[in-house]
């Protein structure tokens, strides 16, 4: 009889213990949403989705956060961006979005194309955007994570699921390809202007 009497008591204690833990988890999720939902929304919209689609991404991201709350690190933003990236990748599998991505980039990205280190890429405006549009989606993602989303190489590496060294090599190569495209476009523009000026002087 004693054992039967103890069993209900243990169940009750478990239920009582779950209450504060659930409250704590809900508070943690609310804090994550309050601090990072706007960043996730902006992250999604900069990658070519509409506002309503971006809101769906936010909802899905924080649903994942709730399910994996114990996995969220102390510095959560890179981890959250990684989840958002996966959610967007799932969306893109069902429809081609590269052109939409470029359109959004042209609307929202000003001159923040690369890290401030390469001076050749500063203040390029439309020329830089054209060059960005010629790069692979992989190169665009690396450049935008650092330049527009403001992540460090270490944080961006977490988003992309690679080591910091691998990302460092990736961003280095992406910058070189960006600057190469810029020079090609600049040469084409200058050649066209020279041709137009020469043609204008003919009778």
- What's the rounded Cα separation, in Å, for the pair 187 and 25? 57
115-203 matches 9-108 in CATH topology: no
**What CATH number matches the domain at 115-203, 3.30.1330.60, 3.40.1010.20, 2.60.120.10, 1.10.10.10?**
1.10.10.10
Q: For the segment 38-84, what is each residue's pLDDT rounded down to a tens digit? A: 999 999 998 888 888 899 899 999 999 999 999 999 999 999 999 99
- What's the rounded Cα separation, in Å, for the pair 166 and 157? 8
Place of tokens 């955007």: 129
Place of tokens 């460090």: 152
Average model confidence (pLDDT) for the chain? 76
- What's the rounded Cα separation, in Å, for the pair 119 and 20? 54
Any idea which of 31-35, 53-57, 124-128 has the lowest mean pLDDT?
124-128
Domain-wise residue ranges, the chain: 9-108, 115-203
Q: What is the pLDDT of residue 178?
A: 85
Question: Quick one: average pLDDT of 151-163?
Answer: 90
| CATH node for 9-108 | 1.10.1740
- What's the rounded Cα separation, in Å, for the pair 69 and 61? 11
């Amino acid at each position: 009889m004693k054992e039967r009497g103890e069993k209900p008591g243990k169940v009750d204690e478990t239920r009582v213990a779950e209450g504060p833990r659930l409250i704590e988890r809900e508070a943690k999720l609310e804090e994550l949403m309050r601090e990072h939902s706007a960043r996730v929304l902006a992250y999604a919209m900069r990658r070519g989705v509409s506002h309503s689609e971006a809101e769906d991404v936010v909802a899905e991201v924080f649903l994942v956060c709730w399910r994996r709350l114990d996995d969220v690190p102390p510095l959560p933003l890179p981890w959250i961006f990684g989840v958002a990236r996966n959610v967007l990748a799932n969306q893109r599998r069902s429809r081609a979005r590269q052109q939409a991505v470029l359109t959004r980039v042209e609307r929202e990205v000003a001159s923040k194309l690369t890290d401030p280190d390469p001076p050749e890429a500063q203040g390029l405006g439309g020329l830089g955007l054209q060059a960005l549009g010629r790069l692979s989606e992989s190169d665009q993602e690396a450049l935008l994570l650092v330049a527009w989303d403001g992540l460090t190489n270490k944080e961006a590496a977490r988003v992309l699921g690679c080591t910091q060294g691998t990302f460092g090599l990736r961003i280095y190569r992406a910058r070189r390809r960006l600057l190469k495209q810029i020079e090609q476009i600049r040469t084409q523009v200058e050649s066209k202007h020279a041709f137009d000026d020469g043609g204008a002087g003919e009778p």
